[in-house]
Structure 1
Amino acid sequence: MLSWALAFLVIALIAAVFGFGGIASASAGIAQILFFIFLVMFVVALILRAVRG
């Protein structure tokens, strides 16, 4: 999932360089959402690992 977030971030940066503001904004938003989901899943995995031992 982190790789998808990075891919959308790269798409956003390339679109911004070429002047496509709408596409850049949408791609950056998707990248932020995917990164947030990744962080939540990572924290949940850490907590579960700590609880299970």
Structure 2
Amino acid sequence: MILLGAILLVIGLLVGISLLTTIGSVLVVVGAVLWILGASGRKVGGRKHYF
């Protein structure tokens, strides 16, 4: 999710499409939060690890 968000963010910045930039940044933030929660040992969505 973080990788997809980073790709969309870069494409949005290069092409100048603000919608892609917004979606990319949201995906990066959500992916980072899920990654941090999963790494800290908290269950995310009923799962111990988020993949």
Do Structure 1 and Structure 2 share a fold, with TM-score over 0.5? yes
- Tell whether the 8 Å contact from 2:5 to 2:25 is kept in structure 1 after alignment: yes
TM-score (norm 2): 0.66
Name the residue aligned to 1:10.
Answer: 7
Partner Cα separation in structure 2 for residue 7 and residue 27 of structure 1:
7
Q: Which runs of 4+ in 1 moved over 6 A?
A: none
**Identical-residue share of aligned pairs (%):** 7
- How many residue pairs were aligned? 42
More helix by percentage = 1
**Greater relative contact order (CA < 8 Å, ≥ 6 in sequence):** 1
Partner Cα separation in structure 1 for residue 4 and residue 23 of structure 2:
13
**1:44 partner SS:** coil
Structure 2 spans left out of the alignment, 5+ residues: 43-51
TM-score (norm 1): 0.64
Larger Rg: 1
How well do the aligned residues superpose, as a CA RMSD in angstroms?
A: 1.5
Structure 1 spans left out of the alignment, 5+ residues: 46-53
